[in-house]
Structure formats: C-alpha cells, structure tokens
Chain A
Amino acid sequence: MDDSTRSRIEALISSSPIFVFMKGSKLMPQCGFSNNVVQILHSLGVSFETFDVLSDMEIRQGIKDFSSWPTIPQVYVNGEFIGGSDILIEMYNAGELKEKLEIALAS
C-alpha cells in the first residue's frame, strides 16, 4: 500500500468515532455481511460514517493490509479496529457492543 492510500485510510478512520468500511452504502449495502453491520449499528441508534470500498480499488485492498484482515466489512471505533461482521454480531449478542460504542461516543 502506498503512502497516499495509507493517509487516506487514516483520515477516514479519524473522521468519525464509528467508521465502517463496507460494500455499498448505508442505504444500499451490497453484501449481506455489510448489511448485518449497518443493521446492528442502526438498531443501537448510534451515528456512524461509512466508506464504500467497491468505489475505490486502492482502499478496498489497502484496508485489508492496513488492518491485517482479509474481509470486508471492517469496523473502527475511535481509531481502533474492533472486527468484522462476525465479531460485531458476537459483541452485540453478548451485550458488549452498546457499552463500547456509548463510551466511544461520549469520549
């Protein structure tokens, strides 16, 4: 990944306390896993920003290297990678996610 892709990723991640790299948009997710993440975040009523990796091949590949994570979606909370759709679902079911996001949004 080149420096400009890295800086763009860093700028995206720091642009919002909750940031999601996904396929498609919040309104039109293009993949079931991305849709899961959007639905979970909506159900918790938190605000978040997204980036559609299908619109940008450099970010699409770059974010996988950046996070050492081979799949999309990827969720960042206050600059920290917290996982993809499976981990988000687990955290949601365990009741951990709401608390983590509330703390992140309050800080």
Chain B
Amino acid sequence: MVQPDAVEAAIQRSIPDAKVTVEDITGGGDHLQVSVVSVAFQGLSRIRQHQLVYGALQQELASEAIHALALSTATPADSPSP
C-alpha cells in the first residue's frame, strides 16, 4: 500500500504542475482512483497521457504497492473549473 500523499508527490516529481486527486477506493491503500490535471498533457493522445503518469509511478506499480489504479487525465482546458 502507499499513502495518497506519496502518490501525489511521485507524480509531481515527473509532472511538476500536476494537480493530483487521489481517492482510496477500498480503504486498503492499494486500490486507487487517481486523477491528474496538467498542461503537460496538451496535444498528447490518451495513451501517452496515461503513460506519463504510469511512468511516474513505475516503482509503485512494479512492486504492486499499488495493485489497482483507475486513472483519468485532463488538461486545465478540458477540466471544469472548481
């Protein structure tokens, strides 16, 4: 399992401007719903956007510290304002 803060920090190491929301679906810390908003996604296909995030979490995924990761990505332009 991983702490939501650690997931956010890992993503922001690779994608510094990322706005990250982490939701722990089961409460066990290894099934996560993560959404990431960043200008870095501009012009990239969905696959490339997700690959950027997966790349940032490579270690956590490979070790199965994160067992399941539901991911959504967006740029600030397509993300609704709060």
Interface residues of A (CB under 8 A from B): 31-33, 68-71, 81-87, 90-91
Contacts of B47 in A (CB 8 A): 69, 81-83, 87
Q: Size range of the interface on B?
A: 10 to 19
Contact A86 B68 (CB under 8 A): no
Task: Tell yes or no: B20 within 8 A of A by CB.
Answer: no
Contact B54 A86 (CB under 8 A): no
Partner of B54, one of A71, A81, A90: A71
Interface residues of B (CB under 8 A from A): 46-47, 50-51, 54, 57-58, 61-62, 68-72
A-B contact count (CB 8 A): 34
Contact B46 A83 (CB under 8 A): yes
Q: In the complex, what distance in Å separates the CA atom of A85 from the CA atom of B71?
A: 9
**What is the predominant secondary structure among interface residues of chain B facing chain A?**
helix
Contacts of B50 in A (CB 8 A): 69, 83-84, 86-87
Contacts of B68 in A (CB 8 A): 31-33
A-B contact pairs, 14 of them (CB 8 A): A31-B68, A32-B68, A33-B68, A68-B51, A70-B58, A70-B61, A71-B69, A81-B47, A82-B47, A83-B46, A83-B47, A85-B70, A87-B46, A91-B46
In the assembled complex, the CB of A79 is this many whole angstroms from the nearest CB of chain B, namely: 14
Partner of B62, one of A31, A33, A70, A85: A70
CB-nearest residue of chain A relative to B47? A83
Contacts of A83 in B (CB 8 A): 46-47, 50
Q: 7 smallest A-B Cβ distances: which pairs?
A: A70-B61, A87-B46, A70-B54, A86-B71, A83-B47, A86-B70, A68-B51
